[in-house]
Chain A
Amino acid sequence: MKTNFEKVKDLIAQSNLSLPDQIDLIDLFLKANDSELESVADLFLSDSSWIEKINVNYKAKQAIFRAGDSKTWKQILETEEKELGNVNE
């Protein structure tokens, strides 16, 4: 039986992300506990378009945490909020 990380890794590997981006995103999730990845595996499995969206989200956050950019962090939260508001049940 696959672990959640293996599920996430396989789904990312099958995505349209570039190989470096795949490696980077897989490496990000390597840092998580497997139980924390259950929601990630469920999301990516139910809608693979979220792999690219989460990758964009990750890149933006990575840049912000490196730069300590509070203004862009605010913009990210606004964008996330709108994105979540548009999610249909």
Chain B
Amino acid sequence: MGMENMQQKNSEEEVVDSIESADFKPEQALNKEKTLFERFSGKAKKIARVMTLVSALSAAPGLVQEAYAEQKSPDVKVKQVEKESINEANVTESGKWAKEILDQAKSELSEVKTREDAIHFINSNAGSFMRECYFPTKGNIRQAELVPTLTLRKYSVDDLRLIAQVAEQLKTILQDLDSKYSMGGTIDKVKTNLDDIDKKASSETLYSSRKQADASSGYIILRH
């Protein structure tokens, strides 16, 4: 039986049953999986270790965001950014890379002649944009205190406006490529990620007084 078959419901394991009725708690769910896998040995145990790692990595962003939010000022408020007004003077290195990727994408667009070209284009341009959004390497970055492998980036409001705008423009380009080359499900995940980035970058984290905000203020995780 393949792992795809999610409808199987015939396990009698008590450890599993205890999860169903409870509210879903990621940390508890991870522990249950780990406990369940303890009885395996040899190759199965090695595979179980990979499955457990995948669970931890899948859950980590949400847990990190939740834990990180607790460190922030209680005065934190979220509001929608007005996308139409970007003050270029206030765009920092944390946002400039997005415009560079968009400019590069636009310059390469005329070279897309086939569906294969379109796939390559999406992989190199939208892929670069998504990777840099979710795993920052440029601009004002620092390692998260709670999860050392996670990198956070500090954005200006105009950085976020720019990133949201670039995400929207990349989505428009993708839709155009989809209509020309019938990309089908190939780009669904990319669209979902660009929507996710657009939505997150369109939410501005404001503090009651930015001047009084502590050193960690303004570092934001643009991630699932």
Point out residues on A near B: beta carbons under 8 Å: 18-21, 23-24, 27-33, 36, 39-40, 42-43, 50, 53-54, 56-58, 60-62, 64-66, 68-89
Contacts and interface: CB of A to CB of B under 8 A. Distances in A.
A84 B48 contact: yes
Contacts of B57: 28-29, 31-32
Nearest to B17: A74
B190 A20 contact: yes
Nearest to B6: A75
A80 B3 contact: yes
A42 B46 contact: yes
A81 B36 contact: yes
Interface residues of B, number: 62
B124 to A, nearest CB: 10
Interface string B25-36: 010010011001
Contact of A31 (B1, B7, B36, B60): B60
Contacts of B60: 31
Interface in B16-45: 16-17, 19-20, 22-24, 26, 29, 32-33, 36-37, 40, 42-44
A77 B16 contact: yes
Contacts of B62: 65-66
B149 interface: yes
B214 interface: no
Contact of A84 (B40, B59, B189): B40
A32 B42 CA distance: 23
9 contacts: A19-B123, A27-B134, A27-B135, A32-B53, A54-B51, A77-B19, A80-B51, A82-B8, A86-B1
A32 B52 CA distance: 12
Nearest to A87: B44
B8 A78 contact: yes
B5 interface: yes
B187 interface: yes
Given A54-B51, A74-B16, A75-B6, A82 B58 contact: no
B9 A75 contact: yes
Contacts of B149: 31-33
Given A19-B122, A56-B3, A83-B47, 15 more contacts: A20-B190, A21-B189, A31-B60, A40-B50, A42-B46, A54-B50, A60-B6, A70-B24, A75-B7, A77-B19, A78-B13, A80-B3, A81-B13, A84-B37, A87-B47
A84 B8 CA distance: 15
A45 B209 CA distance: 53
